């Protein structure tokens, strides 16, 4: 009995649940559709990466004897949406059933639920067990908790998986080695040379297609060299474990002009689209520690990002949707300024981070949280606009991972569902962890007046502006005690200068 097996662009895994029981006569459907390129205007590089990865995955399936019906974006008969393409494939192949793996995003799950009525054949939606924590398991863990804390979820995941465990105890006696992972980059420390991957005929065709169809989208396609196949993805992961992992932990929070990747793995997009399984990433890192090739602080930090934050954020998303996207507990209303799209700002830290994301569709987590995100929080930018920006510009961004990170971690817009306090910081943090301030017209040491860094002004303006909402938070006690001791005239000056800066931000609402 033939089954049509529909594989999405972020499901490029050989062991995908919808592909496990393939039989003779079954057909795999994959399609590049216009709707998925424009529900937000995704970075050109992200679209090119996913389309190339999809085409390479389809070729891999064909090499294994699988029949693949692959619809390209420029196919004359392409209807432009998942639903319409699936209907067309059902008419073409006349299957007895359709099998799909559940999607990562709420909007696509709603589509899938509708397919059961629209297609006229049985539709089986299978769990996505590439994740280590099921929806049911997460809801069970979170049941009855007023606040969700990743650290405690992470410990449960360590126990259940056995990663970095020695019997019932965490490896080397601690669950978390983050205290050892906060060093600025020392002079003379240089990251290892990173592998690059030549553009083959498949990727070349995709780059031309993306340039012609969505060339007005954000970002650049120049010097495309990212992995796009399973073989390349594994090579990239192995390179990271062998060459960069040992220093990743110590310098994972550091930032340097002209070195956007440093010791970071840069595999998040490969994991999120399915070319790398999160388990094998954790296992390779753990093996490096057990073999004495990487220290525990680096390996634990890497595994925590995957098995802790990635799984936790996904759990929060599916538990809180729908409705989570409208959270705005701090009543942030300002529009995102135009320079978030152009990079044209004299704030050197923001300029470099935005230029890097334009070029590569990537920033590492501290740039996202403590530079770009911190600025969005302090300025009070509309959470919906910030969510759209993060979803648009990053090649590893899908709504399930982007939304909770922006709503909960970056903007504190959910009022502290899982962040114990807002991640607000003055210029001192950026100055300590980067070399951005040395080339900036503003000084992190100047608090008000000529040359004062806007982060200093905006930090205290944020604290004052949100006093009624935040003063009762125990983790904010020292901050508000400092505010209470400040001279009233100084506070007025800070607020006046912060307001002038904010009112001077230009936003046309487009890019």
pLDDT for residue 1: 65
Query: What is the model's pTM?
Result: 0.96
pLDDT exceeds cutoff 80 at 510: no
CATH class in words for 3-126: alpha beta
pLDDT for residue 507: 61
Q: What distances in angstroms separate CA 337 from CA 252, 386, 434, 444, 469, one per listed residue?
A: 28, 10, 24, 22, 25
List pLDDT tens digits, range 214-226: 999 999 999 999 9
pLDDT for residue 506: 77
pLDDT exceeds cutoff 90 at 481: yes
Half-sphere exposure of 265 (CA within 13 A, CB side): 29
Of 116-120, 250-254, 293-297, 428-432, the one with minimum mean pLDDT is 116-120
Q: Is the dihedral of CA 7, 10, 14, 20 positive or negative?
A: negative
pLDDT exceeds cutoff 60 at 511: no
pLDDT for residue 111: 95
Q: Band of the pLDDT at 508, cuts 50, 70, 90?
A: low
Structural element, H or E, at residue 67: strand 67-71
Q: Are 461 and 375 in contact (CB under 8 A)?
A: no
- Mean pLDDT score of the chain: 96
Q: Which CATH code, of 4.10.520.10, 2.60.120.260, 3.40.640.10, 1.10.579.10, is assigned to 339-503? A: 1.10.579.10
Instruction: Tell me if domain 135-201+225-320 and domain 339-503 are identical in fold.
Output: no
pLDDT exceeds cutoff 80 at 509: no
List pLDDT tens digits, range 8-50: 999 999 999 999 999 999 999 999 999 999 999 999 999 999 9
In the chain, what are the domain boundaries? 3-126, 135-201+225-320, 339-503
pLDDT for residue 106: 97
Place of tokens 């995908």: 16
pLDDT for residue 163: 98
List pLDDT tens digits, range 328-343: 999 999 999 999 999 9
Q: Are 432 and 400 in contact (CB under 8 A)?
A: no
List pLDDT tens digits, range 97-118: 999 999 999 999 999 999 988 9
Q: Which CATH code, of 1.25.40.80, 3.30.1360.150, 3.40.50.720, 1.10.287.70, is assigned to 135-201+225-320? A: 1.25.40.80
pLDDT for residue 116: 87
pLDDT exceeds cutoff 60 at 60: yes
pLDDT for residue 488: 95
């Amino acid at each position: 009995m033939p089954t049509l097996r529909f594989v999405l662009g972020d499901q490029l895994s050989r062991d995908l649940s919808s592909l496990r029981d393939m039989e003779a006569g079954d057909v795999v459907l994959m399609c590049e559709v216009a709707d998925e390129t424009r529900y937000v205007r995704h970075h050109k590089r992200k679209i090119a990466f996913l389309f190339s990865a999809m085409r390479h995955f389809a070729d891999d399936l064909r090499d294994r004897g699988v029949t693949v019906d692959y619809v390209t974006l420029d196919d004359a008969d392409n209807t432009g949406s998942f639903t319409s393409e699936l209907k067309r494939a059902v008419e073409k192949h006349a299957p007895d059933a359709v099998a799909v793996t559940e999607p990562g995003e709420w909007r696509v799950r709603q589509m899938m639920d509708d397919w059961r009525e629209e297609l006229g054949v049985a539709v089986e939606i299978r769990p996505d067990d590439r994740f280590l924590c099921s929806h049911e398991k997460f809801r069970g863990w979170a049941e009855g908790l007023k606040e969700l804390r990743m650290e405690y979820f992470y410990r449960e995941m360590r126990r259940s998986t056995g990663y970095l465990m020695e019997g019932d105890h965490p490896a080397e006696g601690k669950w978390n080695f983050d205290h050892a992972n906060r060093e600025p980059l020392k002079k003379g420390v240089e990251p290892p040379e990173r592998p690059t991957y030549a553009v083959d005929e498949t990727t070349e065709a995709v780059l031309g297609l993306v340039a012609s169809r969505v060339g007005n989208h954000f970002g650049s396609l120049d010097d495309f060299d990212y992995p796009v196949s399973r073989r390349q993805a594994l090579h990239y992961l192995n390179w990271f474990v062998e060459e960069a992992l040992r220093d990743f932990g110590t310098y994972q929070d550091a930032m340097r002009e002209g070195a956007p990747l440093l010791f970071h793995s840069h595999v998040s997009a490969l994991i999120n689209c399915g070319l790398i399984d999160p388990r094998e990433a954790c296992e390779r890192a753990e093996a490096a520690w057990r073999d004495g090739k990487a220290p525990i602080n680096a390996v634990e930090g890497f595994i925590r990002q995957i098995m802790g934050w990635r799984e936790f954020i996904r759990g929060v998303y599916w538990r809180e949707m729908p409705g989570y996207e409208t959270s705005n507990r701090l009543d942030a209303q300002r529009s995102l300024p135009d320079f978030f799209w152009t990079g044209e700002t004299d704030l050197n830290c923001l300029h470099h981070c935005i230029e890097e994301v334009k070029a590569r569709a990537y920033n590492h987590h501290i740039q996202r949280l403590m530079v770009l995100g911190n600025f969005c929080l302090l300025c009070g930018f509309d959470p919906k606009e910030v969510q759209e920006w993060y979803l648009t510009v990053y090649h590893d961004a899908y709504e399930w991972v982007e939304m909770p990170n922006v709503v909960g971690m970056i903007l504190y817009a959910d009022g502290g569902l899982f962040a114990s306090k807002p991640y607000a910081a003055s210029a001192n943090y950026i100055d300590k962890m980067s070399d951005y301030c040395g080339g900036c017209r503003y000084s992190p040491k100047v608090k008000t007046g000529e040359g004062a860094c806007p982060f200093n002004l905006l930090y205290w303006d944020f604290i004052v502006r949100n006093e009624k909402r935040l003063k009762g938070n125990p983790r904010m006690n020292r901050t508000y005690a400092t505010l209470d001791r400040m001279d009233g005239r100084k506070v007025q000056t800070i607020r006046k200068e912060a307001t002038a800066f904010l009112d001077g931000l230009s936003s046309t609402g487009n890019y």
